[in-house]
Amino acid sequence: MKNILITGCSSGFGRLTAETLIKRGYTVLATMIGLDTFSAKAASQLEDFAGKQSGTLHILELDVTCCNSIKSALKRGIELVDEIDVVINNAGIGDTGWTEAFSEEQTQKMFDVNVFGVQRMMRAVLPEMRKRNEGLIINFSSIQGRVVFPYSGIYSATKFAIEGLSESYHYELKPLGVDVVMLQPGGFKTNFEAIQNGPSDKARLDSYGELKDEPYKVWGNPDDTKDFLPHPQPIADAIIKLIETEPGKRPLRTLVDPLLDGTGTKTINEATQKAQRELSDKLGWDII
């Protein structure tokens, strides 16, 4: 598996994963939005990095909220590399604050990117993968798709949705030679929090009175340096391990959480696996 498409490569996990894979010799289709505007600098920096490595880089405009954008990017990608072996659904947005104060538009946007965007991507790439009876899709979940942190309700809901969506795909496509797996990152030092805006319904927020700033006690201020957070390289390393694992042998969930050591998430993963196996045995399914 040599040709790898990654969504959301302008920064964070996506950018680091692209760099790590290029350095290892893979061909990477790094996708992002705003190539001619706000992502132009990031794209240029990634190109400069790739020029010094053994792998190959192609940068494509791709907006996971737009089917036409996805279709155009994949068409161009196939022209460049013939076939796409791995898709990493990394693109995502999040925010923290009183859940009630997030507007309907904010809620829809988070689901549109984090959940519907993944479904759009999978519908776009799966026909060719099924035709070849091979392929790997890695969907970014989160420990917040398993355990709940207060003041992150909408983001957490999107990641809970990704857990259910991805696990169903995992069972459905395993007999067809396509592996669908999840990565569950904990907290890492990226720009994820720095670009958040908080809830937009200021009147609703003000109605909490003296409690309005309680979310900062859990999450801190967006512009805090938070040097206690670990570097995200373990995420890219975990992705390489999944790619290089034998097809059909890849675990459904890969938890990467050095900050909290998987507390809570690990317990829920184990309980869920046991419950699904019991259900499968009870109903006579042979998919787990």
Sign for the pseudo-dihedral over CA of 195, 199, 202, 207: negative
Which of 97, 63, 91, 96 lies closest to 208 in space, CA to CA?
97
Which of 27, 24, 29 lies closest to 14 in space, CA to CA?
29
Q: Where are the alpha helices (DSSP H) in 174-264?
A: 202-206, 215-219, 233-244
156 is catalytic: no
- Candidate list 10, 152, 156, 166, residue with the active-site label: 10
> What's CA 214's distance to the chain center, in Å?
28
216 is catalytic: no
- Candidate list 159, 166, 169, 266, residue with the active-site label: 159
Which of 198, 193, 260 lies closest to 225 in space, CA to CA?
193
CB contact at 8 A, 261 and 267: no
Q: Who contacts 112 (Cβ-Cβ below 8 Å, separation ≥6)?
A: 65
Helix/strand/coil for 137: strand
10 is catalytic: yes
- Candidate list 26, 151, 152, 155, residue with the active-site label: 155
Distances in Å between the alpha carbon of 97 and those of 197, 226, 251?
A: 9, 18, 33
- Candidate list 141, 152, 156, 166, residue with the active-site label: 141
171 is catalytic: no
Which of 224, 220, 225 lies closest to 151 in space, CA to CA?
220
Residues identified as active-site? 10, 141, 155, 159
